[in-house]
Amino acid sequence: MVTHTVTELNGFAVDLGGTKLAAVSFARGKVQNALVRKTKSADGPAVLVRELEQISKEIGYKEGAPIGVAVAGKLDDQGLWSSVNHSILKDLDQLPLAKSLSNVLGPGVVALNDTQAAAIGEYRYGAGQNVSSLAYLTVSTGISAGFVLNGAPLHSPNGMLGHVGAMVSRNGVRQCGCGRMGTYESRASGRAIEAMAQQLGHGPVTCHQVFAAATAGEHWAQVLFEDACSSIAELCANLVAVLGVERVVLGGGVGLAEGFLSGVKRHLSKEPMQFQPQIVPAGLGKHSAMYGALSAAITKGASQ
């Protein structure tokens, strides 16, 4: 059980995603300082660990202070870190992340999956409050989810729980970096949308440029936008069927893009009522995982 309030969040958090690496310092639950840089995802695991160490120290971390580290990919009960979509985090296979971080940052560091951290943050301090079954769904470079059911964050020993982007969509046809065909991630993630735009002869472009073209009335972009919204709506309905979630908190660069949430809601309205969860934007914005990671670190420290 969590006994600390948001104003008792004092410490540091780091979030390593497929595209961005960010670090923040907190004082009384407020972000004080922030650093953001590009993730060196193609440079290998050793570089990623060095980057985690370096940005933690640059933000002001000193050993003994609470620090939570949220990472994309799967992190198992042994602290071994691996990629799920190998096109996003390359050559990452069972890296002993927990041990590596303890060696360079001290024994108080807590590492966890980034969407699991975001679910904790939103449930405790953001748009997931006052609900018993919650999914935090990030739609960004990749797609994944974190869950809180009956007040307890969900985690599987092998670290695979929540990698919903690897689930297969009924309309999916493309190869996914995880090795499966027709996944949600191969259809609705930012990287997939950019790849499909380029295949149609409109690239290289960013996902947000595709969405801007859709808003401007360009048919090819509107098709990609609607396909992405439809896929995420289908995924949300499936999360209700599997886990009975009442509320989906939508985050990530694609998930929080202008017009995306309303598009998802429009497609979700076509599902039977019992498969329509509440869908709301992340209340903590881009810092959801940071709040959850630091909260997990403080919780661990209080239990020792």
Hey, where are the domains in the chain?
6-117+286-303, 129-282
- Written as six digits, the tokens of 185 are 């991630």
Rounded average pLDDT over 124-134: 95
What's the confidence (pLDDT) of residue 196? 97
27-36, 73-82, 137-146, 293-302, range with the lowest pLDDT: 293-302
CATH code, 129-282:
3.30.420.40
- The Cα 163–Cα 142 span in angstroms is 9
Provide the pLDDT for residue 303.
58
For 27, the enclosing helix (H) or strand (E) is strand 20-27
Residue 252, C-beta contacts closer than 8 angstroms, at least 6 positions apart = 137, 138, 139, 140, 143, 190
Q: Long-range contact list for 203-207, CB < 8 A, 24+ apart? A: 207/253, 207/254, 207/257
What's the confidence (pLDDT) of residue 304?
A: 54
Lowest mean pLDDT among 82-86, 195-199, 267-271, 287-291: 82-86
Do 6-117+286-303 and 129-282 fold alike per CATH? yes
Report d(CA 200, CA 177) in Å as an integer. Answer: 20
The whole-number pLDDT of residue 19 equals 86
Residue 52 to residue 50: CA distance in whole angstroms: 5
- Helix, strand, or coil here: 26? strand
* Percent of residues, the chain, with pLDDT higher than 70: 98
Whether the per-residue pLDDT at 291 is higher than 90: the answer is yes
Region of poorest pLDDT, from 101-105, 111-115, 123-127: 101-105
- Predicted pLDDT at 88: 84
pTM of the model: 0.94
Q: Report the pLDDT value the prediction gives residue 4, as an integer from 0 to 100.
A: 83
Annotate 178-201 with b (16+ C-beta within 10 A) or e (fewer).
bebebbbbbbbbbbbbbbbbeeee
Name the 3-class secondary structure at 287. helix
Question: How is the beta sheet containing 80-82 ordered, strand by strand?
Answer: 74-75, 80-82, 95-96
Lowest mean pLDDT among 60-69, 207-216, 267-276: 60-69
Q: In this model, does residue 1 exceed pLDDT 60? A: no
List CB contacts of 245: < 8 A, sequence separation 6 or more: 133, 134, 135, 147, 149, 239, 277
Q: What is the dihedral of CA 159, 163, 164, 165, to 10 degrees?
A: -160
Would you place residue 40 in the very low, low, confident or very high pLDDT band (cuts 50, 70, 90)? Answer: confident
Determine the average pLDDT of the residues in 135-161.
Answer: 96
In this prediction, residue 64 has a pLDDT band, given cuts at 50, 70 and 90, of: confident
In sequence order, the 6+-apart residues with CB closer than 8 A to the CB of 62 are: none
Stretch among 50-54, 74-78, 87-91, 287-291 having the lowest mean pLDDT:
87-91
Q: What is the pLDDT of residue 41?
A: 76
Tokens of 300: 């661990």
Q: Which CATH architecture has domain 6-117+286-303?
A: 2-Layer Sandwich (3.30)
Q: What was the pLDDT predicted at 132?
A: 92
**Prior bond to 107 cis, omega within 30?**
no
Residue 45: what pLDDT?
86
Residue 170 and residue 258: Cα distance in Å, rounded?
26
The pLDDT-based confidence of 3 (bands split at 50, 70, 90) is low
In this predicted structure, what is the pLDDT of residue 90? 83
Q: Which residues, 6+ apart, have CB-to-CB distance to 76 below 8 Å?
A: 82, 157, 158, 159
Q: Are 249 and 126 in contact (CB under 8 A)?
A: yes
pLDDT surpasses 90 at 254 = yes
For the ranges 28-42, 226-240, 242-256, which has the lowest average pLDDT? Answer: 28-42
